[in-house]
Structure 1
Amino acid sequence: MEIPDVPRPLLEALTQAAAGERCALVGGVVRDLLLHRHHEDPWRGLPDLDIVVEGRAADLVQRLPHALECQFGFLIPLSLQEHGAFGTFELELELPAEFGGTWLLDVASARQEKYPEPGENPTVRLGSLRDDLARRDFTVNAMALELVSGELLDLHHGQSDLSARQLNLLHPSSLRDDPTRWVRGARYAARLGFQFSTAAQQQALSTLSQWPWIWLPGDDPGQAPPALGTRLRMELELLFQREPWRVAVQVLQQTGGLALLDTQLQQDASWAGRLHWAQRLAVPLLPALVAGAADPLGLAERLQLPHRQHKLLVQLQDLKNRLNAVPTDARLPSWWAEFLEAPGLSSEAVALAISLRGPHWHSLLRWWGRWRHVRSPIAAQVLMKEEGLRTGKDLGSRLNELRKNEIDRIENLSRNKS
């Protein structure tokens, strides 16, 4: 069998390792093949193949090194990671450069999934290839290409939806079971230029109005099911790192999906400007989005944001409280420098506050772009020589005084020129 972009010896090795068991390429690689698109792993940007086998994936993986050696004529370096809970294996193959270099393979046993509660992780058991396709998210991702026969298995009319450039959910409870599929759909819509089908949009709105998940807004964030917490965060990270995120967030909001995060975010008309400034100032985009929520810290806890991002939002809240107490009358640039460089704040928190365009926005921006970079016009060594100061508190205070005077002087010169 020939597949564009996929080395034939690799396909032959997989067929050999399957040893007669039904084995197929599934998911995004089949979709992209039919769309004449190059397929890559969304996290690492490397070519990858999702392979499903009816039987034990471990057996195929065990036979694969020998099959690769037979097809390529030499030993292929590979690393292996097993995810035992789901019977899946992640392999990294180091093929020669003429065969594409590093390849990623995800090899899994065909399985069935059942959701014990909406939004929870599913329970898994072995199944058929047909079962495996039925558990997927959208029809365009629920096709399989059998390796031995080369037959395309399309049980859910995925080709029809590809032609219509639309995203159709596989069954009526798709979003009830796993609401992260909503974010994934926004990612696909942005990347492929697709739209949610009318039926998918109706299911989305109906599911949201019912809110079938045990956790409710206002409950303990740590008790949210995975699909409203950690798995949702992972989908959002992919959205910002690997997709045209402006389009994806817009699709998510237009279809009502931001309400999975927060009602205020769903109604937020300023997210695009906030994220534009965040990107411009090198602030991580996910906490910049979360900053527009009614309770950013609660949402950060529910999503289990990385410690650094959670800390950034804590600093932002502290800075907002301090800014609300600052009078509206003019303050010297040196005062702002001392205020914004106080212990417990970071320049990244100031940048995030700038993206919100709240009180004293202009002063924060001037500090970010100019004042924080100003240094004392007289070096420490000169002060020690000319003023007899020694290393320590007195020298530090003198350097700080000179720096503050220099900040005010430079700002006055700038204003006089303008």
Structure 2
Amino acid sequence: MKLISALEFLDIPSDLITALALQAEHLHNGRLALVGGAVRDALLSEIDPCIYPRSPDLDFVYEGDMNLFCTRLQTYFGPRRIQELRLHDRFGTANLRLDMVMIDLASARLETYPFPAENPLVVFSSLENDLSRRDFTVNAMALVLNADGDSHLLDPYGGRQHLIARELVFLHDESVAEDPSRVIRGARYAARLGFTLGVQSILQVKSTLQLWPWSWRIGDPVDLVPPALGTRLRMELELLFDNEPWPQALSSLRSWSALSLLDQNLQNDSLLYPRLRCANRLQIPLLCALISGAADPVALSQRLQIPGQQQSWLEELLLFRRWLESDVLTTSWVEWGALKWTCSLEQQSWTPEVVALAICEHQICWRPLLRWWGRWRHASAQITASELMKQGFQPGPRLGEALHKSRLQALERMR
């Protein structure tokens, strides 16, 4: 396979790739390979020329000393061509801006999981072992680079055949147990590429979730949650909502029974899609809106470590629900107008985001709540402070009371 034919659609300068390969060969220390999404998408474009995926990140794996390799690159290319180089010697990784192209470099490594869902133990190793630690066969391929411009495809798990079949297949039987966040990643790829999860992989997801092989269970203290059931799940969900067609991704997760990774309520939530579409229109973070449907949204937000402000919204949402049930829905609220709703909501100091979350839950009184969120709360006095002072008001409490009264009069006229 010619490297140029495989990668030309990615807008990667072929002479740059060749130069990198040449520096690796000069060190006689190990192979240099392009891995991950760039290889997958390049091969996918060859299989189906109608597919033109977005340009992925450029991830290279090097079998050898990353510090030595980066020193070689700096000597060869010089400071004009290498605009940026950040070496993380402890982790054997580097971030490089070469000819204005961002490149990620990593030493080949092997990962082992001492406990399921925990962070793995990492040792430097071979390219083959580096591929063995990846999630799906279509991501476990490498183009081993040669300075002569040719490339050798390393495909130990049949990833190319799975690309042809439009199928996502886990590398081994313990993939989900080792890292359950791979399930969310699978839904992301399925939505983006139009792939399906292989039959055996679906069975692995469902059987693993049924067995729940992890020492931590939903309801246990959140400060003991392992990374792949906590922060790594959150990061994958953020990518899902930010970068992918999220309705399709969530549909895959539900069909695999995988939303129970977060909460069983979400797996069975009949309002899931209406709530998220509403949140999208009201510009509420979709992950926060998703969590709001959990049996214990506060605990799930803490487990995933979403931003503190959003955790506060979910805490306030629980109080808002109780306020609606006890102080609003037990009254003749259907007769309330803009003035009564606005005064009631503002006396309690409910934040607009919390009201928006309640609207998205399709509470029985969602229509007046939506009017408050969209119109009534923005009502202002029909006269300005300057105009009142021209009438003889002095700065102070009486001026504020007059402005407030004018606003209430404006609300009374609103529908």
TM-score, normalised to structure 2's length? 0.91
In structure 2, give the amino acid aligned to 1:347: P
Distance, in Å, in 1 between the alignment partners of 2:180 and 2:216 is: 13
Answer whether contact 1:87 1:108 (CA < 8 A) is retained.
yes
Query: Higher mean Cα deviation, 194-203 or 50-59?
Result: 50-59
Give how far 1:321 is off.
2.2
Match of 1:390 among 388, 394, 398: 394
Give how far 1:299 is off.
0.1
User: Would you say 1:8 and 2:14 are equivalent positions?
Assistant: yes
Distance, in Å, in 1 between the alignment partners of 2:144 and 2:41 is: 16
2:414 is paired with a residue whose SS is: helix
Answer whether contact 2:67 2:87 (CA < 8 A) is retained.
no
Answer whether contact 1:297 1:313 (CA < 8 A) is retained.
yes
User: Would you say 1:356 and 2:361 are equivalent positions?
Assistant: yes
Distance, in Å, in 2 between the alignment partners of 1:228 and 1:393 is: 54
Q: Deviations over 1:167-193 (max 9, x none)?
A: 000000000000000000000000000
Distance, in Å, in 1 between the alignment partners of 2:123 and 2:230 is: 24
Match of 2:128 among 124, 127, 130: 130
- Alignment size in residue pairs: 394
Residue 229 of structure 1: aligned partner: 230
Residue 67 of structure 2: aligned partner: 58
User: Would you say 1:217 and 2:218 are equivalent positions?
Assistant: yes
Distance, in Å, in 2 between the alignment partners of 1:67 and 1:207 is: 50
Matches within 5 A, 1:339-418: 339-342=344-347, 344-386=349-391, 388-411=392-415
User: Would you say 1:322 and 2:320 are equivalent positions?
Assistant: no
2:85 is paired with a residue whose SS is: strand
2:206 is paired with a residue whose SS is: helix
Query: Higher mean Cα deviation, 357-366 or 332-341?
Result: 332-341
Gaps of 5+ in 2: 46-50
Residue 48 of structure 2: aligned partner: none
Q: Deviations over 1:364-399 (max 9, x none)?
A: 10111221222111111222222x333233322221
Distance, in Å, in 2 between the alignment partners of 1:68 and 1:12 is: 13
User: Would you say 1:17 and 2:27 are equivalent positions?
Assistant: no
Change (3 A) 1:175 1:338: same
Distance, in Å, in 1 between the alignment partners of 2:352 and 2:86 is: 39
Change (3 A) 1:405 1:115: same
Distance, in Å, in 2 between the alignment partners of 1:342 and 1:13 is: 67
Q: Deviations over 1:322-345 (max 9, x none)?
A: 222213412231121123234653
1:146 is paired with a residue whose SS is: strand
1:156 is paired with a residue whose SS is: coil
Q: Deviations over 1:294-321 (max 9, x none)?
A: 0000000000001122122123222222
In structure 2, give the amino acid aligned to 1:65: Q
Change (3 A) 1:239 1:150: same
Distance, in Å, in 1 between the alignment partners of 2:353 and 2:231 is: 24
Answer whether contact 2:338 2:414 (CA < 8 A) is retained.
no
Distance, in Å, in 1 between the alignment partners of 2:362 and 2:401 is: 33
Distance, in Å, in 2 between the alignment partners of 1:11 and 1:341 is: 61
Answer whether contact 1:315 1:344 (CA < 8 A) is retained.
no
Q: Deviations over 1:186-206 (max 9, x none)?
A: 000000000000000000011
Distance, in Å, in 2 between the alignment partners of 1:356 and 1:86 is: 45
Residue 108 of structure 1: aligned partner: 106
Distance, in Å, in 1 between the alignment partners of 2:198 and 2:359 is: 38
2:105 is paired with a residue whose SS is: strand
Matches within 5 A, 1:67-106: 67-69=76-78, 75-93=80-98, 95=99, 102-106=100-104
Give how far 1:86 is off.
3.1
Residue 414 of structure 1: aligned partner: none
Distance, in Å, in 1 between the alignment partners of 2:140 and 2:282 is: 40
Query: Higher mean Cα deviation, 353-362 or 288-297?
Result: 353-362
TM-score, normalised to structure 1's length? 0.90
Give how far 1:83 is off.
4.2
Distance, in Å, in 1 between the alignment partners of 2:85 and 2:395 is: 55
Distance, in Å, in 1 between the alignment partners of 2:77 and 2:274 is: 51
